Amino acid sequence: MTNEQIGQEEEPEIIYIPDEEGNEEEFEVIMKFEVDGSDAKYMMVVPLDSEDEESDEVYAFRYEEDGDDLQLFMIENDEEWAIVEETFNTLVDELDGGAGND
């Protein structure tokens, strides 16, 4: 059995995250990764209904999966955030072919 769609995401993965008022907002998962030397998993998401596409606000969460359930955790530790940010930037650079972002 082969999966010819590996690396070719045709449909974006969408998750729903409630805001402070309990309203669910749609986010597209743009990247999932694990940090070396840790069991922690992270995902980077962007809001789907962003009216200002140039802002491209990206949110990072640590997540855990339990069957079909997905639990998201805010990254509140500065050291953890630095590791996630560095890993994300490295992965983005690799995807862009090593080209720097302006």
Please report, for the chain, the start and end positions of each structural domain, with discontinuous segments joined by +. 18-95
The strand pairing partners of 42, in sequence order, are 33, 62
Give tens-digit pLDDT for 80-101. Answer: 999 999 998 898 888 777 555 4
Give tens-digit pLDDT for 25-75. Answer: 999 999 999 987 788 999 999 998 766 555 678 899 999 988 888 899 999
Taking alpha carbons only, the member of 90, 87, 96 closest to residue 42 is: 87
What pLDDT does 5 receive? 44
Q: Which amino acid is at 59?
A: Y
Q: Residue with structure tokens 């955790």?
A: 73
pTM of the model: 0.73
